[in-house]
A and B are shown apart, each in its own frame.
Chain A
Amino acid sequence: MDVNNVPQDNISTYGKAKKAIYAKDINGKLQTTCSTGWNVEETVTTQALQELDEQMQKALEEVKSGTKSPLYYYMYEKRMDLLLLSQVTGFFKWRIKRDFNPEVFAKMKTSRLLAYCDVFGIELDEIKRLPIERV
């Protein structure tokens, strides 16, 4: 790729950041150039973010309707899935699934709740309910 072909598409998913890309300058030397992003990247990053957002919205509805515990919502809000949550907590997937049940969740030991809080980076009183702005 030549330096003047390095995309400068000002994509939304970089924030204000710029990225270094290797490209050939006019003397044929390969070196880094700043890029404000490539539309292609924006497409695939947005796609991944939308998928996460869809899962989160779906989870939100299920928690609101009382079929799932807030834990289920926070898992998606924190950009995780069942596999990842199991990896970061060290809990079995089947036990986490049980914790998605509102009745089981209501009786959960504080120590277990705190383990979830830790990987989500939230406080104990937060995990017990949906965020206020979501209700």
Chain B
Amino acid sequence: MKEFKHSHHAHCESGVMSSMLSHHGFKISEPMVFGLSNALNFAYIPFVKIGGMPLVAYRSLPKSIIKNIKKNLKIDIKMETFSSQEKGENRLDQLLNEGEIVGVQGSIYWLDYFPDELRFHFNAHNFLVIGKEKDEYLISDPVLENVVKCSRKSLRKSRFAKGMMAPKGFLYYPVSIPQNIDLKVIIRKNIKKLSRTMLKTPVPIAGLRGIRYLARSILKLRSRDKKYAKLFLGNIVRMQEEIGTGGAGFRFMYASFLQEASELFEDNKILNEASQMMLEVGDEYREFALVIAKSIKSKKEIDFEKISNMLTQIANNEAKVYKKLLEFS
């Protein structure tokens, strides 16, 4: 059995894919996984409430990274869900016995190795199970520095948590990885695809239109009570920074992908420039978060106009990145 090397990543799903594929001999960085699976996005869905707050996301749907890596790189990844907890647990044990490292989806609330402060009901956390010692599982959680242990009961609760995006014991592992994957072709195709979707999303709740929609909704907070307004703004920042995004709602990670891509294309100028631009957009997101945090703490009136304008400006500048990227593809 090959020795597994744990790596500390920024984000769960892309981190799992990077560690898992690298373990099987296909070395690929987290940003490359993220870029090749077209995972960057934005969504603001006011009618879907989580903890009383509208859904705000800086990436595509959960599981899409796994599915897109499978599709775009033609890697045969076996994915299984289970009708009963026993079956799901037995299958995991069986795979571990065969020496497999297994990607698993679960609710973060039940994972007792996380600090209490971060244990919210979020069903789409991903991590690797790499072994079992008596009644404890060895977990390589990409967002943590080291390998941790998790009790059987806790893992079972997590894997079979119910509700929105219920994992149903979801597990996955690669069966075969093709030789000679030509990254360049896939990079080109996906950069083009992403730029187009971000610039021309057919629905007003996603892509750049989603960002602008959120900016307008922030203005409407003027007529809401102050506590709600603060919770609403705080929720945006939590989705951008608190959950593992690598900073600035995945924008830094995407900038890193563009940089790596530019190297593959013999220091392609356009990609390099776009990477810089995305990095700057990321800095603007951080500034936006900072202004919100200050408003939450302050007793003064919140300057909604300023916050909203910042976000609109971010959308404008992010649009420039995608336009730049269209020059490449």
Contact = CB atoms under 8 A, between A and B. Distances in A.
A117 interface: no
A93 interface: no
A12 B118 CA distance: 11
B247 A40 contact: no
B163 interface: yes
Interface string A3-32: 000000000111111111111100001111
Interface stretch (B170-178, B235-243, B309-317): B235-243
Interface residues of A, number: 41
A104 interface: no
Contact of B8 (A20, A29, A87, A89): A20
Contacts of B116: 15
| Secondary structure class of chain B's binding surface, majority of residues | helix
A20 B246 contact: yes
Given A13-B117, A30-B252, A19 B10 contact: yes
A1 B279 contact: yes
Nearest to A51: B231
B234 A32 contact: no
Contacts of A80: 121
Contacts of A17: 114-115, 118, 144-145
B297 interface: yes
Given A41-B242, A44-B234, A47-B234, 14 more contacts: A1-B279, A14-B117, A17-B118, A20-B10, A23-B252, A24-B279, A38-B241, A39-B293, A40-B289, A40-B292, A41-B237, A44-B292, A47-B231, A119-B162
12 contacts: A1-B247, A17-B115, A17-B118, A20-B143, A22-B247, A23-B252, A29-B259, A44-B292, A47-B234, A48-B234, A49-B117, A90-B162
Interface of A: 1, 12-24, 29-32, 34, 38-41, 43-45, 47-49, 51, 79-81, 83-84, 87-90, 119, 121
